[in-house]
Amino acid sequence: MAPRKKSGPARTARTSGKAARRLPQANGPQAYVPSSDLERFLVDKMVSVRSAPSNGTTVENLLYSSTPKVSSIGYSFGFVVGREMSGRLGGNSGLPKAMGLVGMQCTESSKHRNTTVTSRPYGPSGHSLGSIHLYESGVIAGFLSARKGIRMAARETECYYGGAVSCRFVAAPSKTASMHQDKVPLEEIMDGIARYLSSTEIRPHPSEYRRILAFVPLLKNPMNKQIVRLLTMSGSRIARYSGKSDAKRIIGSIANYFGAYVSSASISESGKSIIKLKYESYNSIYPYVSMPNALIAGFLSAVLDGSAEINLSANNRNAYTATITIKKNRA
């Protein structure tokens, strides 16, 4: 059973336009410290899913590339997730499965004390975004640290999203948790999210526990408020690549990516447009649902030249319904 969420009144927002062995934590100035039953619940549910994920983690990785602080948090949280999965999947042979669960096909080879992991994300190629898999680098480091009983650090040396045939990670013993990050300017992050969501056919998946898990550090304020603003701006950029005629497909792709579905979509070029999204009980976490809602609101506000209002309500199973209303701006 998922941890209970606090019930509360409907919300309105407006926008325009474990461990197999005892190991030290991934350290560093922004090291992520696991604190909630939610994270353990999500890891347990994720490792029980038998079907491979249908989509990669492009949006999460782009967000983790936004600042050095966020990058460090993404890597160290991945370290915690990898260590937890090692205890559940079996340390000697579970790394390919662990990587599969976070959205990457994986092979592993070792030489001396170093380990090389070659992976490829599920889904299409990126758009020359550089080495962005900080979360996955952390997962590899945490998993191998638990398996070997020594601290390992991992970095991505080649990236599928940077034009390489596959992603290549190199892990080696290290006294500290280190990482490598290609600096991605904020404009490129927003544009990358927009291009990915506008050009990718994102299929629904029966359970996206891994998606929520990857986002967990970004659900805490004040960071979540900053991420929501960034996603609103990214959503507005989708209008550069897709118009009104493609709006329903874009909305469906965003909903599918975050584990929601569109129950109704009425789009009007001259009047009021109303989109209803339904979430499941397991992903009805307010900071989480705020992210796809922001993307859709930003996109529709731009493509319809209007202002958006978002209303949330919950049913008796504590599952959210989001109603996004776009009102045309007056000339």
Beta strands in 159-260 (DSSP E): 167-173
What local confidence, expressed as pLDDT, does residue 213 receive? 86
Of residues 297 and 118, more confidently modeled: 297
pLDDT at residue 110 is higher than 70: yes
C-alpha–C-alpha distance, residues 34 and 47, integer Å: 18
What local confidence, expressed as pLDDT, does residue 21 receive? 31
Backbone angles phi, psi at 158, to 5 degrees: -135, 145
C-alpha–C-alpha distance, residues 151 and 176, integer Å: 7
What local confidence, expressed as pLDDT, does residue 31 receive? 41
Q: Is the dihedral of CA 77, 83, 87, 92 positive or negative?
A: positive
Tell me if residue 114 falls in helix, strand or coil. Answer: strand
Reduced to 3 DSSP states, what percent helix, strand and coil does the chain have, rounded to the nearest 5? 40, 20, 40
**Rounded to 5°, angle at Cα 141 from 93 and 179:** 155
pLDDT-based confidence at residue 251 (cuts at 50, 70, 90): very high
pLDDT at residue 289 is higher than 90: yes
Which one-letter DSSP state was computed for residue 21? Answer: S
pLDDT at residue 321 is higher than 90: yes
Mean pLDDT of 144-167: 86
pLDDT-based confidence at residue 328 (cuts at 50, 70, 90): confident
Amino acid, single-letter form, for residue 10: A
C-alpha–C-alpha distance, residues 54 and 140, integer Å: 20
**What global pTM score does this model have?**
0.83
Backbone angles phi, psi at 157, to 5 degrees: -100, -25
pLDDT at residue 324 is higher than 90: yes
Of the candidates 309, 303, 298, 296, the one whose C-alpha atom is nearest the C-alpha of residue 256 is 296
C-alpha–C-alpha distance, residues 218 and 83, integer Å: 20
What local confidence, expressed as pLDDT, does residue 19 receive? 30
Tens-place pLDDT, residues 252-287: 999 999 989 999 999 987 789 999 999 988 889 899
* Prior bond of 222 cis (ω within 30°): yes
Which residue is associated with the tokens 């469906």?
Answer: 252
Q: Is the dihedral of CA 138, 52, 192, 217 positive or negative?
A: negative
Tell how strand 320-328 and strand 152-158 pair up: unpaired
Amino acid, single-letter form, for residue 245: S
Tens-place pLDDT, residues 171-212: 999 866 555 555 678 888 898 889 888 877 787 766 678 888
Which residue is associated with the tokens 């007056």?
Answer: 330
C-alpha–C-alpha distance, residues 220 and 160, integer Å: 30
Weakest mean pLDDT among 1-5, 68-72, 303-307: 1-5
Tens-place pLDDT, residues 44-98: 877 776 555 556 677 888 898 888 888 888 898 899 889 888 888 875 667 888 8
Tens-place pLDDT, residues 30-42: 444 445 677 777 7
pLDDT at residue 229 is higher than 90: yes
Weakest mean pLDDT among 106-110, 117-121, 243-247, 277-281: 117-121
Q: Within a 10 A sphere around the Cβ of 265, how many other Cβ atoms?
A: 18
Q: Within a 10 A sphere around the Cβ of 173, how many other Cβ atoms?
A: 14
pLDDT at residue 28 is higher than 60: no
Of the candidates 328, 323, 311, 198, the one whose C-alpha atom is nearest the C-alpha of residue 268 is 328
Compute and round to an integer the Cα radius of gyration of the chain: 20
Q: DSSP secondary structure string, 173-195?
A: E-SS---------HHHHHHHHHH
CA distances to 133, 282, 284, 330 from 259, rounded to whole Å, are 21, 10, 10, 34
Amino acid, single-letter form, for residue 74: G
Beta strands in 142-283 (DSSP E): 152-158, 167-173, 261-266, 272-278
Tens-place pLDDT, residues 114-137: 888 887 765 555 556 667 788 999
The mean pLDDT value of the chain amounts to 80
